[in-house]
């Protein structure tokens, strides 16, 4: 009877409730102060938020369920949440909470304010060898951790490398990530310009598919353009089917060593079995380009970043939707798929709780022996939260959809003029 009364009281508040011993903690959108908009995506906004409980700052990714379903992206969104729930590392954007209400999905993650590598590259055009080596070193540490868990990112590109205020790079956006064992040749996930040839040609691959993308990025930071930028997609596939890319000595820019070109060439080998890193990511760390580079110091944040992340300014673009799209989304909201597709989206990070030290392991050490057992425990906890309503209560809250008077006149629906006032918009 007690639980029934409590359930009725919590109804329509859009929260998750975590029971830990005698302590009860609820997490919902209302658990956070919304501070500012820091980015937008295909079906998401990212907010800087402050947890009311302790003032800690996070990034909260807010995603429209209707847009996700409309773009047939349910699988990738749920995969991202599943991958993030398994990992925790200082060179990755980590997940702390995930929850939902009737219209939105929420991922509460690490907040970093140094913008993404694409923004810096657009501003600087090229980077020095020292800057590039530092950035790639950060990515390698993140990939090393993922690879230990047999996870491939599958979308390594400048947009998905974010920087903290001190200039350390962290991997983000795990929408396309998966376990290596789950990859099938039929799939072609990723961004074409950074995609490994074996993915383009539907051939078997290994963990080194992410290293190929890394080779493209090094070349781009060195030269300001990608290797096949002037090619169409069709021409690129034809070129790759007939040729092996090789950067020549005379093409190395002033201020760069020939070792960097060798690093690029070895990463861009078409055959994944012959590619640098095919026998493990230590091949990248031991390459002559990184001679004298201290990865331990990098891991412990003892190396000062060689470029100023505060010098780059970016403009946030607000997306709009027209009346036809709005009607389509409203129709989606009435579907059975809309009501059931995201039922297991809830999650909380056990590292944010005051748990026994015996239960935890060092999440930053990719060679920790108790890691597998801890991930099992972590999975058990979150499966329990998703299925047992005596210890985990989740309810939905209907938000009103607001159309500004100005936008009604021109027939568009947008938050461009009211982004802060209308934070609870269903679709934007």
The CATH number of residue 47's host domain is 3.30.200.20
Q: Is residue 422 part of a domain?
A: no
Domain boundary among 311, 337, 371: 311
**pLDDT at residue number 194:** 92
Structure tokens at 53: 């409980």
What is the rounded CA–CA span in Å between residue 243 and residue 81?
A: 38
Considering the domain architecture, whether residues 306 and 223 belong to the same structural domain is answered as: yes
**Closest to 276 in 3D by CA, of 228, 236, 218, 221:** 218
| DSSP secondary structure, 303-333, as one string | SPPSS-GGG----PPPPEEEHHHHHHHHHHT
Considering the domain architecture, whether residues 67 and 153 belong to the same structural domain is answered as: no
Structure tokens at 175: 């929408």
Query: What's the length of the chain?
Result: 428
Residues 6 or more apart whose Cβ sits within 8 Å of residue 428: 45, 64, 318, 319, 320, 321, 413, 414, 415
pLDDT by position in tens, the chain (length 428): 344 333 333 333 444 544 444 455 678 888 999 999 888 877 788 999 999 989 999 999 999 898 899 888 888 888 889 899 889 999 999 999 888 888 899 999 999 999 999 999 999 999 999 999 999 999 999 999 999 999 999 999 999 999 999 999 999 999 899 998 888 777 777 888 899 999 888 888 899 999 999 999 999 999 999 987 767 778 888 888 888 889 999 999 999 999 999 999 999 999 999 999 999 999 999 999 999 999 999 999 999 999 888 766 655 555 565 667 766 767 777 777 777 777 666 655 544 543 333 322 333 444 444 445 555 555 544 554 444 333 333 322 222 222 223 333 323 333 233 333 334 444 44
Considering the domain architecture, whether residues 108 and 121 belong to the same structural domain is answered as: no
Q: Is residue 426 part of a domain?
A: no
Residue 248 burial (CB < 10 Å; 0-12/13-18/19+)? exposed
Q: How far is CA 109 from CA 74, 172, 173, 394, in A?
A: 20, 10, 11, 20
Considering the domain architecture, whether residues 228 and 100 belong to the same structural domain is answered as: no
User: Cβ(38)–Cβ(119) under 8 Å?
Assistant: no
> How many helices and strands (H and E) does the chain possess?
15, 14
Considering the domain architecture, whether residues 60 and 97 belong to the same structural domain is answered as: yes
Helix (H) / strand (E) element for 34: namely strand 32-40
Which CATH number covers residue 160? 1.10.510.10
What is the rounded CA–CA span in Å between residue 64 and residue 70?
A: 10
**pLDDT at residue number 141:** 97
Domain boundary among 287, 311, 335: 311
Considering the domain architecture, whether residues 141 and 121 belong to the same structural domain is answered as: yes
Neighbours of 420 (CB within 10 A): 9
Whole-model pTM: value is: 0.75
Q: What is the DSSP letter of 110?
A: -
Q: Is residue 82 part of a domain?
A: yes
Long-range contact pairs involving 238-244 (C-beta distance under 8 Å, separation at least 24): 240/197, 240/200, 240/201, 240/270, 241/201, 244/269, 244/270
Considering the domain architecture, whether residues 232 and 262 belong to the same structural domain is answered as: yes
**pLDDT at residue number 326:** 65
- Counting the structural domains of the chain, the total is 2
Q: Is 173 a catalytic residue?
A: no
Half-sphere exposure of 321 (CA within 13 A, CB side): 21
Domain boundary among 280, 311, 342: 311
Q: For 161-172, give one letter per residue: b (16+ CB within 10 A) or e.
A: bbbbeebbbbbb
Considering the domain architecture, whether residues 159 and 275 belong to the same structural domain is answered as: yes
Q: Is residue 255 part of a domain?
A: yes
Q: For 64-92, give one letter per residue: b (16+ CB within 10 A) or e.
A: bbbbbbbeebeebbbbbbbbbbbbbbbbb
Q: Is residue 425 part of a domain?
A: no
3-state secondary structure of 26: strand
Q: Is residue 423 part of a domain?
A: no
Q: Is residue 286 part of a domain?
A: yes
Considering the domain architecture, whether residues 30 and 53 belong to the same structural domain is answered as: yes
Considering the domain architecture, whether residues 173 and 225 belong to the same structural domain is answered as: yes
Residue 110 burial (CB < 10 Å; 0-12/13-18/19+)? middle
Phi-psi region of 277 (alpha: psi -120 to 50; beta: other; left: phi over 0): left
What is the rounded CA–CA span in Å between residue 50 and residue 310?
A: 22
**Closest to 189 in 3D by CA, of 172, 170, 213:** 213
Bridge partners of residue 60, in order along the sequence: 47, 108
Structure tokens at 306: 């060689």
Tokens 């003029």 appear where?
A: 417
User: Cβ(177)–Cβ(167) under 8 Å?
Assistant: no
Residue of 101, 155, 164, 173 marked active site: 155
Q: Is residue 420 part of a domain?
A: no
Considering the domain architecture, whether residues 35 and 83 belong to the same structural domain is answered as: yes
Considering the domain architecture, whether residues 132 and 211 belong to the same structural domain is answered as: yes
**pLDDT at residue number 399:** 25
135: containing domain: 117-311
């Amino acid at each position: 009877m007690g639980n029934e009364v409590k359930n009725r009281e919590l109804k329509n508040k859009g929260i998750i409730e975590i029971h830990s011993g005698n302590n009860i903690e609820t997490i919902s959108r209302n658990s956070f102060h919304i501070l500012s908009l820091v980015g937008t995506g295909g079906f998401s906004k990212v907010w800087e938020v402050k947890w009311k409980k302790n003032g800690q700052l996070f990034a909260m990714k807010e995603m429209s369920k209707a847009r996700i379903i409309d773009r047939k992206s349910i699988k990738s969104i749920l995969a991202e949440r599943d991958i993030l729930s398994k990992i925790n590392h200082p060179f990755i954007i980590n997940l702390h909470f995930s929850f939902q209400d009737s219209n939105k999905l929420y991922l509460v993650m690490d907040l970093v304010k140094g913008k993404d590598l694409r923004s810096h590259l657009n501003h600087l055009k090229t980077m020095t060898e020292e800057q590039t080596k530092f950035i790639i070193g950060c990515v390698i540490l993140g990939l090393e951790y993922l690879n230990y868990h047999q996870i491939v990112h599958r979308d390594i590109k400048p947009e998905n490398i974010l920087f903290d205020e001190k200039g350390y790079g962290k991997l983000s956006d795990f929408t396309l990530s998966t376990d290596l064992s789950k990859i099938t040749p039929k799939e072609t996930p990723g961004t074409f310009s950074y995609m490994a040839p074996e993915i383009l040609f539907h051939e078997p691959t290994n963990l080194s598919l992410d290293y190929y993308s890394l080779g493209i990025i090094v070349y781009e930071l060195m030269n300001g353009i990608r290797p096949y930028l002037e090619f169409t997609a069709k021409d690129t596939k034809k070129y790759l089917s007939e040729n092996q890319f090789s950067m020549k000595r005379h093409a190395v820019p002033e201020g760069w060593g020939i070792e960097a070109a060798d690093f690029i060439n070895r990463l861009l080998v078409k055959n994944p079995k012959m590619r640098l890193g095919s026998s493990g990511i230590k091949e990248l760390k031991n390459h002559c380009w990184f001679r004298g580079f201290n990865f331990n110091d990098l891991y412990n944040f003892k190396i000062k970043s060689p470029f100023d992340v505060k010098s780059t300014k970016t403009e946030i673009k607000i997306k709009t939707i027209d009346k036809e799209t709005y009607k389509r989304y409203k129709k989606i909201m009435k579907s059975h798929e809309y009501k059931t597709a995201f039922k297991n989206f809830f999650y909380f990070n056990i590292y944010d709780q005051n748990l026994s030290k015996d239960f935890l392991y060092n999440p930053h050490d990719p060679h920790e022996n108790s890691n597998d057992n801890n991930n099992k425990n972590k999975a058990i906890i979150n499966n329990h939260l998703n299925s047992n309503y005596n210890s985990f209560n989740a309810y939905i809250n209907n938000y009103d959809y607001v159309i500004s008077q100005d936008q009604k006149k021109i027939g568009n629906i947008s938050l461009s003029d009211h982004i802060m006032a209308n934070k609870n918009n269903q679709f934007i």
